[in-house]
Chain A
Amino acid sequence: MSAKEVTIVVDGREVSAVEGEMLHDAARKGDVEIPVFCYEPKLGEPVGACRMCLVEIEGIPKLQTSCSTPVRDGMVVHTRTEQVKHAQNAVVEFLLVNHPLDCPVCDKGGECPLQDITMGWGPGKSRVIDEKRHFQKPIELSPLVAIDRERCILCYRCVRFSQEVSEDSQLQLLDRGDRTFVGTFDDRPYVAPFHGNITDICPVGALTSYTYRFRARPWDIEQAGSVCTLCPSQCNVSFTVRDEKVKRVITRDNHDVDDGWLCDRGRYGFEMFEAEERIAGPRLKGGAEVEWDEAIAAAAAGLRAAGGEVAAIVGDASNEEGYLVGRLLREGLGSNDVDSRQSRGFSRAAVVRLAQPDLTIKVREIDDADVILVAGTDPLHSSPILDLRVRKAIRRNGARLVVATERPTALDGGAEAIARYAPGGATHFLSELAAAVGGAENVASPLAESLRGAEKVVVIWGERIAREGDGAATALLDLADACGVAGAEGAGLLEVPDVTNARGLREAGCLPDAGPGLGAELAGGRSTEQIRAGLISGEIKSLLLFGADPLRDFPDTPAWEEALTAADHIVCFSMHENATTAKADVVFPLETHAEKDGTVTHPDGRLQRVRPSASRPGIVQSNIVILSLLAETLDLSTGIDSQPTAFAALTEAVPFYSSITEEKIGGQGIRWQETEAASTIPTPDGGALSSEPTTSATGEGLALGTYRDLWAGPITELNPPLQFLTPQQRLEISPADAARLDLKQGDVVRVGQNGSSVEAHVLIKERMSEGTVFLAEGVQGGNANALLNGGPVWVEIQKLSGVDA
């Protein structure tokens, strides 16, 4: 669908525009700036609320709002006539009637559209001598955002965001006339996972972040573009840096990645860069701080002493770091035991199949999907920005949504059909669904109805289903086949991985059975679960952990506890102190995504660059440098001593990255699927994927499912402003089960399995399937990982104390 080109005349200049485009945008192409307040294309349809953008169009007697007037061929527009100027002056004057003009104390001062427009298009003088309206100066809109209602110009932007983008519908315009103000029902705090965006879009200083309040002025700061690596969404951010420290995180619009939004995790999760728990230099066991050479020597000695019985697990790392760890293990220490997954994952054969370019969809293509299937993941918790993307597709383009998950998701409300399968039942359900789309009658038929016949089917699937083994990949591929996504325009799969750079690490060689570039099958490598078993049995003596915290994030905490205790020597790269670093013999500090230089790969194949923006604390060094020094000490000369050399080595080792350069990555990243070298991805070998039969075992008690909560982990524990969001362990249970067990909302229960147990508060939830309960992973005090053991788990529930009825 190529839109028609039209030509319009703006202030005497001929401008070619696309039919249907708004006049304001077309004028900008001709370098004519029309001031706007309420217009923000990210928010969807223009509303024409502020009247700042009035222009004169020949043939129309009244002035028109250029933000909501689509261009027509031959339109002749004037933006600087007396009539327009008069209108602009009048609008600015009206806006300022009640605006306090307290710029010197206003946080927006210096980067405020109202200031700019008043200077550029305003009358320059006020005729108002009356008292302005008064509200109590800043009040808490949420624990993170302050609202100064006097300054609000009622442009609706924040309200539209809340109603139409994040769809939490909490913000409202209350009261009438000049008493109108933005607020929430009953003055409740506006707590929602994306609410920080309103501080970015408010064109005045009415909405400001407490974390940035009065920290700096635009001329005190530098903006440093980077990528958020707190989750797989890899949103593009811009760090506001003053005195070499991050003071604020704002969005850096990239419609191919984040659509110009950020979640509150990425926006407010920067104070942990300077938390007390931050590791600021290498340490030995017991916390003794040492110099770099001593630490590197100690790490190398320990790794060498294991005599090849070494394993490495990579977690939060850039492609280059993952690549280096892989080489260190394979070439330096002669071991193939490298993995980057928290639990069981797909085999190389399955990974290669799913990585085929014609199967993967671009994030942007979600916008135009006909049907979106969310399978085995809740984007809100695992990749928040995707949640907004799906909502946008539904709201603006009429996409239909079907959800197939174990646990109720945040997207359920907009779904046309929902299916709940038992924890661990994804393989079974997805293969049923594939069959149902093909015409069979089964449990998945209601969902299949929505998928059948649809052209652009997008499947957003969670890496979690890979814990069920290759069978899940087969089911997923069958489903993709049944929906005809391969090669179809605008149709495909998108993975939601468990860790931020999962795809990049797999492609950089952090898999037990494949080296960089997913090349030929490697034999003998142990996966994460096997590494754990190897440590316990003593077959593996030494462990290298890079940005991974098994004691918090990996299933089966007791086994990991045992494995880490059994290990002779542990080298751990970590950003913060945690239970795992306490067990390590040598601890190296990790850089944060504000300090690191490296590339990461988005689940849709986009390579993006994380750029150093702030100074590193203490004596923290580039991880690339440390890894190559470590390699050198182990007599492996990698030829890598900096990010550029590491990047060059990576692109050489991964054939399908080979035509990517740092220039091509630029500010917006580039998908490797769209480069010439894309065809060098290994082709899947014809044979069927080996798949163990999916366990259809049943057990006593309630089936336990787990999920990773958006707010679980260091993000809330180490960021003081986010502490109020720290999740409590809650046992999610269906109303029927709760009634049967005589449990009430808020009761404290002990959830036990085979000797391990965690305490939780009962949360009765609708839309849960009976017989299943859910606990959160990674929360402090009662981490559900303690109950998992790699297979289906059934739990006993014991009531400890009840809330008084």
Chain B
Amino acid sequence: MKYKVNEKGYYGDFGGAYIPEMLYPNVEELRQNYLKIIDDADFQKEFHQLLRDYVGRPSPLYLAKRYSERFGANIFLKREDLNHTGAHKINNTVGQILLAEKLGKKRIIAETGAGQHGVATATVCALRNLECVIYMGEVDIERQAPNVARMKMLGAKVVPASSGSKTLKDATNEAMRDWINNPVDTHYIIGSVVGPHPYPDMVAIFQSIISEETKKQLLEQTGSEQPDYVLACVGGGSNAMGMFYHFMDDEDVKLIAVEAAGKGVSSGLSAATTYLGKEGVLHGSRSILMQTADGQVVEPHSVSAGLDYPGIGPQHAHLFKTGRGQYVSITDEESLDAGLLCTQLEGIIPAIESAHALAYLEKMEFKGGENVVVCLSGRGDKDLDTYIKYFNL
């Protein structure tokens, strides 16, 4: 595969493992074992069984009729919102918890932004009876309260991250600090295709089920497994990578990644990484990063906690730089409007993250008859407060 990681852990200019020595043994252990473990037949069997019976996969590929009429193209929604716990995040946590068990780990830590990854991690920890600590920015704890309650009910300890912008980046810092201080018994379940190699590759592999199913479902529904466009929102980029994975090498399929413009790309309150960022190192990999000329990370902003991150995964940086993917952005308001539209046209309340991907449909021009797949990465239950306030409902 042309866009896959090389043996040194790089995607073109991006990737690597920029970690302090304290994390080296853990990350190296993972690097040496992850493919062996994942490729093992027993692992595959257990993973797919859990995806089917516990997560509820395959998730439907739904031809959204009223959307299609509105936009003049066949708009398919890949319904990751119907997964257990309400988002794509669980695909990855099911994979990583099985892997952590194989590595003999007893304690699980994770960062979370929207709380979806935190919930998905707390869920699999309850399922497998492992201790679970979730780091979450103080700002996010406030704006995603239902998910905090769910994590607590699932038995996880939720630790507030109070540094920096008190959002996803800072929660990730705290999780890395925890891992440094607990190097032997702990596995860090990173929630997106970010972090030091092999995380971006490992998370992409677990999320690739999204495009694997999409191909089969398209073939059944349209007679061809090849769509014209696939769209997904990008925080760190895991649902997008899952959606792109099996289409990456087919250059006829256009990949559209939607970042959060916040209050506008030039407003100073934005999370549009490829537009505002430069090459740099954060959280263990070399990628594209919002930063000052001095190399200090700039605090991002998005109404959507899951997209409120100043970087993107290294593989996305590579798709962007090579031009294989088209990276665009959607503002807070555009996403909320799209969320309401989806609710009223299709009866589906999307997560605000996913609503960013939906919003980009408005900006596309179709000849008619194109097949377009949008990754509906999660459901909007966690965002009701934000929707209600914004629309004065």
Indicate, yes or no, whether A interacts with B.
Answer: no
Chain B interface residues (CB < 8 Å from chain A): none
